[in-house]
Chain A
Amino acid sequence: MSAIRILVGTKKGAFILTADGRRKNWKVSGPHFAGWEIYHVKGSPADPNRIFASQTSGWFGQIIQRSDDGGKTWNTPGSSPEELKGAGGFPKGESNKFVYEGGAGTHKWYDGTQHPWEFKRVWHIEPSLTDPDTAYAGVEDAAIFKTTDGGKTWKELPGLRKVKGDLWQPGAGGMAVHTILLDPKNEKRIFVAISAGGCFRTDDAGKTWKPITRGLKSLYELPDPDAEVGHCVHRIALHPSRPDVLFMQKHWDVLRTDNAGEQWTEVSGNLPSDFGFPIDVHAHEPETIFVVPIKSDSEHYPPDGKLRVYRSKTGGNEWEPLTKGLPQKDCYVNVLRDAMAVDQLDPGGVYFGTTGGQVYASAAGGNSWNAVVRDLPTVYSVEVQTLP
């Protein structure tokens, strides 16, 4: 029977939640890396037992951890398990080095002046679809790095920051590459999104990038609402069968493009608020998408104290609230941008985590929800592996 593994990054460690394909009885493992902020945990599609984790701390900086046994044991890449046996064994790996290529340069600061680029942390790790040793890291201050040796060393793809990087500006949460989408039909095409930077695409495996923001409007965030860069893109998502169709949750507005970002169209439709963070696509229905409306950028909680996932089966514009099993009064949690994921089972499952420490699962495409856990630390990220 197939199984599900949910990888949860939280403010105080990582947790792994597992269940068989019925998705009813869950086992909780963790906290892993207790006390550290775990921004993201994601498994390799090419080898599900290989999992990368971004472990970070305001005191001690950035560490990359890797498991090669499905999350049972972890090492900093470069340290083999054999090296760690015995009383004298300690990690040899130096997997925490992220150095900008060719000088850091400057970007726009909160007050509008220029400010040097400073590496802070890895927000998102996107493993290659085909090679377990290759992965991309989206970092704050915004840049994309790549490893081809399983995370031992990381090298920046500096072309991204050359796309008017001096005009990118941090939002309240910082300025980070938080979303990386790999095109399953074109290995040279990658999409990235940056909060208060915008949305970008490369068609040459990361050498050069272009903004893909035509159609985005940021009336209250940018002096020019139609600017090429600077839009606060919160999340983008695609279905692997149609990688030219992207969906976006922006600071305000939900949008879609049908031509790989050349033109975006707003599809917020009847949502109670088009502000929010995550957006995801059903595994088997490319026109079925999920968002979690949040009241506003000044009030990061659900409208009316009701936690509602909204689903569109028409690729946007027409939305229905999904409430069964979710708190419908006095609920003031948020759902962060990397904290929603889908599984590959049939019927397709949907999962999300909250700033209140709940991880909700729906084994029925969102029709009803159950809390897998209720009392974790603030959930930063949720990823799901569907195992044979």
Chain B
Amino acid sequence: MIRVMLPFHLRNLARVEGEVQLEIAAPATVPAVLDALERKFPVLRGTIRDHGTLKRRPFIRFFACKEDWSLEPPDTPLPEAVIDGTEPFLIIGAIAGG
């Protein structure tokens, strides 16, 4: 069970409170998490990554276990602590403002 924390506006859009829990088959990677997330919440398609290219939107970041996973190669497995649900996978709206 992977725990995903969405940013405020995407929680509102998806009409969820708190974390989202996803069952993901191995290997659990960032694209696998996003695939499962978008299957469960189709309204989020296009909000985290582009529709066609599946490229991460510029102001979105992925954090896990105190590390920035935004630029990791797509086939990199997530940390064990995220896969077993000890740590959440964070989808973050990048800080931009004063």
Residues of A at the B interface (CB closer than 8 Å) are 35-36, 57-63, 76, 78-79, 84, 89-97, 99
Contacts and interface: CB of A to CB of B under 8 A. Distances in A.
Nearest to A36: B9
B15 A99 contact: no
B51 A97 contact: yes
Contacts of B74: none
B10 A60 contact: yes
A79 B43 contact: yes
Given A35-B8, A60-B57, A76-B13, 5 more contacts: A59-B59, A59-B96, A60-B60, A62-B46, A92-B42
Interface string B1-21: 000000111100111100000
Contacts of A94: 42-43, 45-46
B93 A90 contact: no
14 contacts: A35-B8, A36-B9, A59-B94, A60-B9, A61-B57, A63-B47, A76-B13, A89-B15, A91-B43, A94-B45, A94-B46, A96-B43, A96-B45, A96-B46
B43 A57 contact: no
Contacts of B13: 60, 63, 76, 91
Secondary structure at the A interface, as helix, strand, loop or mixed, is: loop
10 residue pairs, one from A and one from B, having the closest CB atoms = A91-B43, A60-B47, A59-B59, A94-B42, A59-B93, A96-B46, A90-B15, A94-B45, A97-B51, A76-B43
A36 B48 CA distance: 15
A268 B59 CA distance: 43
Secondary structure at the B interface, as helix, strand, loop or mixed, is: loop
Interface residues of B, number: 24
Contact of B42 (A57, A59, A93, A99): A93
Contacts of B60: 59-60
B98 interface: no
B21 to A, nearest CB: 13
A58 B59 contact: yes
Nearest to B14: A90
A94 B44 CA distance: 8
Contacts of B9: 35-36, 57, 59-60
Contacts of A63: 13, 43, 47
Contacts of B96: 58-59
B63 interface: no
Contacts of B47: 60-61, 63, 96
A92 B44 CA distance: 9
Interface string B35-46: 000001111011
A84 B15 contact: yes
Nearest to A62: B46
Nearest to B46: A96
A32 B93 CA distance: 20
B52 interface: yes
Contacts of B51: 96-97, 99
